[in-house]
Chains A and B, each alone.
Chain A
Amino acid sequence: MGIIQAENLVHEYIRRDEDGNVEEINRALDDINIDIQAGQFIAILGHNGSGKSTLAKHLNAILMPTEGTLWVDGMDTLDRENIWKVRQSAGMVFQNPDNQIVANVVEEDVGFGPENLGVPTEDIWKRVEECLKDVRMYEFRKASPNHLSGGQKQRVAIAGILAMHPKCIVLDEPTAMLDPVGRKEVIKTITRLNKEENITVILITHYMEEVVNADAVLVMDKGRIVMQGTPKEVFSKVDKLKEYRLTVPEVTLLAHKLRQKGVPVSKGILTTEQLVEEIKKVM
């Protein structure tokens, strides 16, 4: 069994009127089956309302399955006794950095999680130091989060999650509010945590360029997983992605259009370097 496994997972949002009668049922997750192995970097794409965030909230036991089962690190999330262990195993980073920072000093913010877990004080400080170094924010440990840029705040939020020693980090559009450099910093940080610390990463994003290094890409639509494969496999289906209100990285689109015009470059090109190498061969 992988670190995250879903079997026929269904989630329904149920709206009731004042008397408690069911008014409307909205099936946000519809028969999801996934098996994510420890150490993988998984990206989830999908239009607004496709079910990505609902799925993410299940991984962290914020939501519970209506039907089916979800195991996080072998623990059934429906079992209430597991709830804190699940949340410790799968940490979550949200879109808006300002909503996730609780303390007035960076290092205290990072220490908040382990302190709540009852970690002994010396260990907390050790963890804080390690995690801030991991996200390259150690030099800002005494700073006030107010004075940090969006990308820096988001890295502090990631350090705060790391300090709880999770096996898996779920990031729900962590770069949506960041400038280009902030975005690069965050993606670089999570890529390194995945490669060097072997932490499982689940990245939800609307920026196609951010997922080219993932091990696998899952595409969601209407609560279902409708496409999955390596970035190369998924991004070679430009037209199909457009049907799901998505797109491909600009470089991939450029390569796709060049192919249509008869320039013999391969399918599923993901980076500038790959495209330039291919074009060099046909100059």
Chain B
Amino acid sequence: MSIVLDKVSHIYDLGTANERFALKDISLQIKDGEFIGLIGHTGSGKSTLVQHLNGLLKANYGTVYYNGEDIYAKDYSMKKLRQKVGLVFQYPEHQLFETTVIKDVKFGPKNMGLPQLEVDMRAFEALKQVGIGDDLLDASPFELSGGQRRRVAIAGILAMQPEVLILDEPTAGLDPKGREEILEQIARLHKERNITIILVSHSMEDVAKYAQRLLVMNRGRVVLDGAPQDIFPHYEEIEKIGLAAPQITYVMQSLKEAGLPVDTSITDLEQAVENICRYTKNVN
């Protein structure tokens, strides 16, 4: 069970003077249950890539396989694919349109043609998963805070019970606590239900903390693919393509240059504290 991209290319404005590759010859495999961080500067092709995974955009060259099936095959059901691969766009709260929270979340499963009881159960469960309490079920989405609205929008996707959940910058514009809440909930979904997560983010701290595997994009290609601890020590390389490493990486790197034999692959705060403490004179 997996998503496979086989030599996928996507060209915008094909046949015009502005023709350009948005994706160029991308081949990769995303396995079941992975937590992937997708990073790259604005315009590097991240959003174009994720829209290929649920068939919203079609590759000009190459093919996408979902669980071994060619999604471009004639009899393949794109509708089913989109239920299995849920995509949460940037600022998803702009897409809330129903009069109450619960109605909005029910919209997806209802459209799937599920029985009423199943629709209700899924909607309640999805809202619980994102930490929206029963007291808010009948509230208008417009009465909620920004963070709450966003979680309702994510619940709308979860209610379709996707196997893969793609989130395009789910924390943009949220305060630090709101960011943490959403990411913790995504991490819990990943752990408890083994959903494959693809997190598109501009926050290197966030992907370092949550993702097991990073895909780094530049100019429509995947230029680095590996675990965060293997990728961020190459911070000079990723700075060249418009990104940065987490702040912890820079601290560890500078300490090493200053002669402290610390582990420069650490990006996690607690690990950094422990590692540094080994080499300093502590008061207690």
Q: Which residues of A contact B (CB under 8 A)?
A: 46-50, 95, 149-151, 173, 176-184, 206, 208-209, 242, 245-247, 249-251, 253-254, 257-258, 261-264, 272-273, 275-276, 279-280, 282-283
**B272 in the interface, Cβ–Cβ < 8 Å?**
yes
**The 6 nearest A-B residue pairs measured at CB:** A245-B177, A262-B282, A47-B175, A262-B284, A250-B247, A180-B244
Residue of B nearest to A275 (CB): B251
* Bound Cα distance A72, B239 (Å): 40
B55 within 8 A of partner (CB): no
- Per-residue CB proximity of B232-260 to A under 8 Å, as 1/0? 00000001001110111011001100111
Q: Which chain B residues border A149 with CB–CB below 8 Å?
A: 41-43
Indicate if the CB atoms of A181 and B273 lie closer than 8 Å: no
Interface of B is mostly: loop
User: B-side interface residues toward A, CB under 8 Å?
Assistant: 40-43, 90, 145-147, 169, 172-179, 202, 204-205, 239, 242-244, 246-248, 250-251, 254-255, 258-260, 269-270, 272-273, 276-277, 279-284
A115 smallest CB distance to B (angstroms): 29
CA distance A258 to B205 in the complex (A): 19
Q: How far is the CA of A254 from the CA of B246 in the complex (A)?
A: 12
Are the CB atoms of B42 and A150 closer together than 8 Å?
yes
Are B259 and A283 touching (Cβ within 8 A)?
yes
Residues of B within 8 A of A49 (CB): 145-146
Give the most central of A49, A180, A249: most B CB within 10 Å: A180
Tell me the complex Cα distance, A253–B176, Å: 13
Partner of A206, one of B42, B175, B258: B175
Shortest distance from the beta carbon of B251 to any chain A beta carbon, whole Å = 5
A258 / chain B contacts, CB cutoff of 8 Å: 273, 276-277, 280
Smallest Cβ-Cβ distance to B262: which chain A residue:
A279
Q: Which residues of B contact A262 (CB under 8 A)?
A: 277, 282-284
Which residue of A250, A279, A282 contacts B269 across the interface (Cβ within 8 Å)?
A250
CB distance from B194 to the nearest CB of A (A): 30
24 contacts between A and B (CB under 8 A): A46-B175, A47-B176, A47-B177, A48-B173, A48-B178, A151-B42, A178-B42, A179-B242, A180-B242, A180-B243, A181-B41, A181-B239, A184-B244, A246-B176, A251-B247, A254-B269, A258-B277, A262-B282, A263-B280, A264-B281, A272-B254, A279-B258, A279-B276, A283-B258
